[in-house]
Structure 1
Amino acid sequence: MGLISTVLTLLFGGERNVLRETAEVFRENAESGADRAAVVKGQAMAQFAAEFATPEKGRFDRFMDGVNRLPRPALALGTLGLFVAAMVNPLWFAEHMQGLALVPEPLWWLLGVVVSFYFGARHQAKAQELQREVAGAMFKAPQVVANIAALRAMRAGDVGAANPGTDSVVAQSSVEPDANPALDDWRRLRQI
């Protein structure tokens, strides 16, 4: 009994497990590996969070962000409002539009420049994106035409579209064996 106790103490005693330690030389401990992977993922996420963090904005910065978002909706809603005003009260609309006739031409030019610079960059980016999409669609056009022609050729509405031929042709094709390259190779090897 003492010998068994000594061997077990040698293998498992003293807070050790020789079998587990030996096995971990050849295979990673799954639990320890998962712990290490979790630490690595946590460190990577902390690094990404630090990289993409934005400093807290003050009241003035938030106010200016809001002001920068106003012109497009204001112009769009204002234009729609002018159409509504023209329909609801045409005389009022005509009176107020007469005031636009008094605006000097250089001021119109200045307004055009401001609006062009403000909206021009966005318009140019969208126009270039549209040109790329149109070019991509034109590149695909020959394939689309070929696909449509192939689909039209498969229409079942034509007379005889599903005609398999005469019964003798069908019977003959069911008796003839199909080509089998693997079987042909096997037969050729057997003849050698």
Structure 2
Amino acid sequence: MHSVVPPLARTIWRPTVRGLENVPKTGPVILASNHRSFVDSVVIPCVVPRKVVFLAKSDYFEGTGVKGALQRGWFAGLGMLPVDRDDSKAALASLDTALAVLGQGEAFGIYPEGTRSRDGRLYRGRTGVAHLALTAGCPVVPVGLTGTEDIQPVGSSLPRLAKVTVEFGEPIHVTGRYDGVPAGRARREVTDEIMAAIQALSGQEPAGVYNDRAPDA
């Protein structure tokens, strides 16, 4: 699946990609991106020449029949792992899963906003991304997406052609920078630095508040 979908998607949408040299070819790395559309988790793996693991709603892996099998194959083939977002312990479990992925030297994709922006603004980042970076001691590559919201707008069931740009910023290294700094403060400062880098790439207006997940997000 991973050998077929990315080349096909690039041929159809022909995304503009900048800064790909900022993504390490090997070793653990976090790709922290803004979140505009459901398809973001397909677009990023399609342009990065190495496997990128994202978490996806467990609902996508629980379908039955032929449709359910095809859906599971699609998401698993792109390297996505299921997470139950309605479970009160899901947040902690997802962090453990992410650390396991990074511990294996892989790339992990994350949206610090928590869920997709429904009004185009960039929402405040949650500190899980900083926890991962500080715990795993790996670099964070900020990612700015533009145009993906036009591929499959909120409420639409089928994708459409749209002009998409994916820009990767310079890696943010945190190892050794926060020795002796209280953990909460370190996580907040790292997260704010990551979000500032994402905003510089995406050009979005900062919302200044957290993004609450919509029932169907």
TM category, shorter: under 0.3
The TM-score with structure 1 as length reference comes to: 0.15
Structure ranking higher in strand proportion:
2
- Higher RCO (CA 8 Å, separation ≥ 6 residues): 2
* Larger Rg computed on CA atoms: 1
